[in-house]
Every structure is written in structure tokens, then in C-alpha cells.
Structure 1
């Protein structure tokens, strides 16, 4: 995009934000917080394509002015990595909660389809999971240990292999967004169908509780962040389908960058899930209270980090901007 077109497309938004900061406008604090996030996105774009331009100087000055008013009493973090996961990403991710909801809906519908299919067609599970896996699991069930498959291999080997595979699935869900959201929806749908068939298989064998107690030890985080990775792919895919006021190329570049941020945020959680599956899930004789404590703690962690914390951080950010408006 030419610089003149970039300025024409966004100047009214920048001017409105500048007035809100300088003149104590009574604009909704939430809108101001969104405006600040959009401004920093535009600044990053200008830094890439309009180096040493007047536009870049203006945006840099405006962002610095806003940041100084909002965070004038805050010391800059020296740890960029911790700042990304602790502040930058959650604040950024708030804008994509609706997209996360769509990703979740696609996955849940697929789980339901997989479950219903497995209940009504005894051959469906073999089609989805493969004969070798089904036969081995049936033997494990007959031997009184439905999840014995998680005990195979060394702990460290299992941890590394599982973590790498889960990260591969996450990046695959993101990468398929390059063929629009349909590609990512396919990855979410296929994984959802597989999960539905997998869980229902244990139900039909009469070991639903015993199996799920172990599976969801690691599965709570693993499945949740696959849905988050699907959200990343939908962000990129939607940027192609719905460019809004941007050119399709610029919209795609922004969507790819935003989606990559989201998928990168999942890496620590995949490591946690891999650790649980490699070192903890194999202990099928653990007390029920301990298993469900781990499951609910995992669910609480995911819900807090991706849903509750971004909302709280966004409100705090909006309040800081609101207070900054009334200061000289």
C-alpha cells in the first residue's frame, strides 16, 4: 500500500485518538483502549514499510505520548519474553474473543458428530482411529487398564514426542488459514471428530469414567490450545475473506502477524500438556481427587489466561487511558 493511501485510510482514527488523549474527551474508555492497540499496530506497519517517513515520526510521537500518559509511573520490563505472555499478548488477544468462540463452536460440533457417528456405526471408530490402535486398546481394556497405551515408552521420550507433535498440529491449524478460514476449519473439524469418536469408544466399552479420568489429565490443556491455535488460523483466514478497509494483501499480512502471535502463545501450554502426558497420565492408579484436581486446575488456567485475564487487563488499560484524559 502506498503511504498516501495508508494515511488517508487511517488519519481520521489517529486524529480522534490524539484528541481523546490531549483534550480530555469523554469517549468510552474501552474504545480508547482499542484505539491504542490499533495505533500500535499501525505504528508497527509503518516501521516496516515507511521507514524514516513523516508518517512514522507522527505515529511514533503519538504512541509515545499516549504511552507516557498511561504508564508514566510504570517501569519498563527488562524481560521482553515475560512481558509478551504477561501483558502484551493478553491485552492484544481481547479483540479476538469472538473468533475464539467460533473456533470452539466448530470443534464442539465436530466432537458431537464424531460421537454420534461412533454410537451408530461400530466401524466408524476403526475408520477414524485405525485398526491397530483400536485392537491394542481393546486388549488393554480386557486386561483392566484402558489407558495402558500412555505407559509405553520412556517418560522423557514420551514428553518430547508428544509435545513436538502437539505443536506441529497447532502450527498446521494456523498454516491452513492461508487457504482461507476453510482450511483451518477443516483441521479443527477433523480433530474434533477424532476426539468425539475416541471418547465414545470408551463409553461403548463400559470404561468411560476410568478412561476419561486419565485422558483429560493432559487433554484439558492439549485440546484447549488446539482450539486456540484454530483461532489463530481463523484470524489469518478471515483476513483474506474479510479485508475490511485494507487492501487484501495488507489485511492478509496483518492477519498472519496477529495469528502467529496467537499460535506462539500456545507453546508453553503445549509443553505443560506434554509434561503431564509423559510423566503423570501413565499413573492410572492415582486417587480420583488428585486426577480431578489436576484437570480442574488445567481448565482454570486456560480459561483465566485466554478469557478472564484479557478482559480484566483490557478494563485496567481502559481505566488508565480514561484517567490520562483528564490530566494536563
Structure 2
């Protein structure tokens, strides 16, 4: 069968099933499993006869959505909170991994622009960070403690204030995605330009390593979480601009729900980053080098694994066990 004929023959069935899943109109698990098996069969057929077709991507995503629905039915009496972080969020991150990659590309591009701008304009850092902050940092560098700013205030006061600020940045990065993703990109631009120029400032003053040991103890999870939150904002923006087979309103609701789940998933990392900044970073200049480097590598590895590697493992695991799960329904 030609690919065009294959799509024409099954398109209506696929769209109907997709809308039924999105609107929760299938309440009978036997019916859900039956239609899921049909989609899996179509996917297998397409993999055999149209291995380079874009229909493979569509059917794979449709099968993933259906399986999430089936598995949710099977685990409705399990711990919902654990399931949210253990299965639901990783599967969402796998499905929308392109948005995470795009968010990181934008992050690195803007950070690079910030560093290059600071390198080529002596006043750029002051225009971004402000004279007061730059002068204070210069005094701290002269005193031999470049990141002394993180020692100001009490532990709990710093922890609460920093955490609240980071939550606000992340939430705004997501909410402003409603403007077709432009608002999200603006939030990334503002923060990345600041980060790039900030790090170049310390490099120029020959205290780059000291700044890394201090800033990135908490910055690894803090910055990474903001990038993931930006990805959620881009998903929201794309749901409005590219509704696909949904109405624009239905696509927006779906994008909002997906984005909120990703946003919420970052909160534990944001709280952890705030804790580290309030209670640990202030001791970076007195702790052994191996300890500060160990904390940075550990925190970066943890959040990287959760959002970049674990989703692939979960996706593969559920695909491998799909037959046994269906038989148990």
C-alpha cells in the first residue's frame, strides 16, 4: 500500500482516537486497550514499510499518549505524587524533548552573547549589573573573597528570599510563553546576558575559578531549572501557534496542562538551589576544593540525569512492558 493511501485510510481513526484521549471520552479500559493495539499495529506497519516517514513520529507520540492513559488507569490507587515525578514528568520530557533542547540552545547562545559583549565593551557589565553591584564586587575581590555577597544576611533569610525570587523567575518564564514564546525568550535573554557578563567580569579580574566554586554550588540546579521552565513556556507558546489537529483553544489547554506539570517538577530543584545558596555557598572559600567541585558535579549530574537521560530510560521501559500491562487490564 502506498503511504498516501495508508494515511488516508487511517487518518480519521487516529484523529478520533487522539481527541478521545485528550478529552477523556474513553472510560472503558477494554475499548481503550483495543484502540491502542490498533495504533501500535499501524505503527509497526509504518516502521516496516515507511521507515523514513513523518507519520512514524505522529503514531509514536499517539501510542505514548494512549499508553500513559492506560497506565494511569492501572495505577490510580498508587501514590499519585511519587508517580508524578517517577513516571509522568519523565514521559512528558521525552515527548517534548525538542523544546528542552531548543531552550538550552537559546540559553547558551544568549550567555555567549553576554560574555562577548562584556569582553568588547568595558561599560557593558556596569550597564547590566549596575554600578553599586560592580563596585561591591571589586571591593570583595580586593579583600580576597569574590563571592562575599552570598554571605550577607542570615541563612534562613537568604534561603527564603533567593528561593522566592527564583520561583518568580521560573513562573514568569512559563506564563509569558502565552505570547507565542516571545515572553519566555525575553526572560531567558535578560538572565543569560546577565550570567554571561557576570562570569566574564570575574574572568577579567582573574578570579574566575573562585567565582565558579562559589556561584555554581547553587547555580547548577538554579540555572538548569530556569532553562527547563523556559522549555515549559516554549511548549505553551507552541500550543497556541501550532495547534495541529486540535482547535486552538484545546491545544492551548493541553499546552498549559503540560507546561504546568514541567514547571512544578522543577520546584524541588529550585528549593534545593535556594538551600545551597543560603546555607552552603557562603562557606565555599573555606571548604576544600574537592568538596565544592563535588557538590557542583553532583547537583549538575542529578538534574541533568532527571531531565535529559531518565526520560529515555522510562520511555524504553514502558515500551518494553506494554504488552504485559495491557494483558493485566
- TM range, smaller chain: 0.7 to 0.9
The residue number in structure 1 matching 2:101 is 101
For residues 136-155 of structure 1, what are the structure 2 equivalents within 5 Å? 136-155=136-155
For residues 106-117 of structure 1, what are the structure 2 equivalents within 5 Å? 106-117=106-117
Are residues 1:18 and 2:34 paired? yes
What is the TM-score with the length of structure 1 in the denominator?
0.82
Is the contact between residue 40 and residue 63 of structure 2 (CA under 8 Å) also seen in structure 1? no
Relative distance call for 1:219 and 1:181 in structure 2 (3 A) is: same
Are residues 1:180 and 2:173 paired? no
The residue number in structure 2 matching 1:319 is 320
For residues 93-242 of structure 1, what are the structure 2 equivalents within 5 Å? 93-242=93-242
Is the contact between residue 21 and residue 324 of structure 1 (CA under 8 Å) also seen in structure 2? no
The residue number in structure 1 matching 2:307 is 306
SS of residue matched to 2:146: coil
The 2-side partners of 1:130 and 1:250 are apart by 44
Is the contact between residue 159 and residue 275 of structure 2 (CA under 8 Å) also seen in structure 1? yes
4+ runs deviating over 6 angstroms: 14-17, 29-33, 325-328
The 2-side partners of 1:67 and 1:269 are apart by 25
Residues 256-294 of structure 1, C-alpha deviation per residue, up to 9 Å, x if partnerless? 111111111110000000000000000021111001110
The 1-side partners of 2:158 and 2:40 are apart by 57
Relative distance call for 1:23 and 1:185 in structure 2 (3 A) is: closer
The residue number in structure 1 matching 2:8 is none
Task: Name stretches of at least 5 consecutive residues in structure 2 with no aligned partner.
Answer: 1-11, 21-30, 48-55
The 1-side partners of 2:39 and 2:112 are apart by 53
Residues 275-318 of structure 1, C-alpha deviation per residue, up to 9 Å, x if partnerless? 00000000021111001110010111011111111110010111
The alignment of Structure 1 onto Structure 2 pairs a total of residues equal to 295
**Deviation (angstroms), 1:245:** 1.3
Relative distance call for 1:25 and 1:243 in structure 2 (3 A) is: closer
- The RMSD of aligned alpha carbons is 2.8
Relative distance call for 1:12 and 1:89 in structure 2 (3 A) is: closer
Are residues 1:35 and 2:35 paired? no
Task: Name stretches of at least 5 consecutive residues in structure 1 with no aligned partner.
Answer: 1-6, 42-62
**Deviation (angstroms), 1:81:** 1.6
SS of residue matched to 1:187: helix
Is the contact between residue 113 and residue 193 of structure 2 (CA under 8 Å) also seen in structure 1? yes
Relative distance call for 1:327 and 1:90 in structure 2 (3 A) is: closer
The 2-side partners of 1:20 and 1:166 are apart by 41
The 2-side partners of 1:241 and 1:75 are apart by 33
**Deviation (angstroms), 1:20:** 4.9
The 2-side partners of 1:117 and 1:136 are apart by 21
The residue number in structure 2 matching 1:257 is 257
**Deviation (angstroms), 1:324:** 5.2
